[in-house]
Amino acid sequence: MVRPSCDMQVEVREAMRGGKGRVQIMHVFKQEELKGKCRLFAKITLEPGCSIGLHEHVDEEEVFYIIKGRGRVVDGGVERDVAEGDAILTGDGASHSIENIGDEDLQLMAVILLY
């Protein structure tokens, strides 16, 4: 299956998971389209100063792959700056958050895999 980007559903969430500002989520494929145990496969865009608040992943894991920009992640209680090419894996009951700390949009791929 090939899906042009113009056919991908885009949603905007305010204060996602208690975070700041707006989060744009472009759903590359939806859960019901995938045969594997995947709850989310999306490109996420955070404008400067925006964030996704701290949240937990139980019985699943989330992978963030930074496409563009600079961010600050809190993963399992550890704070770390991330940039293009970095990847974050959070699961097994751990919590994480991410914030755009740069002057341009922070873009990342997000995949949530179910156990």
Model pLDDT, residue 67: 98
Both structure tokens of 3: 């899906």
Model pLDDT, residue 27: 98
What is the CATH number for 52?
2.60.120.10
The DSSP bridge partners found for residue 51 are 99
CB 108 within 8 A of CB 52: no
The DSSP bridge partners found for residue 29 are 41
Question: Closest by alpha carbon to 102, among 71, 74, 73?
Answer: 71
Q: pLDDT tens digit string along 2-25?
A: 999 999 999 999 999 999 999 999
Residue 103 confidence class, pLDDT cut points 50, 70, 90: very high
Instruction: Give 87: exposed, middle or buried? Use CB within 10 Å, 0-12, 13-18, 19+.
Output: exposed
Q: pLDDT tens digit string along 33-92?
A: 999 999 999 999 999 999 999 999 999 999 999 999 999 999 999 999 999 999 999 999
Model pLDDT, residue 38: 97
Angle formed at CA 108 by CA 83 and CA 34, multiple of 5 degrees: 145
d(CA 66, CA 73): 11
What residue numbers bound the domain in which 64 lies?
5-114
CB 17 within 8 A of CB 56: no
Structural domain total, the chain: 1
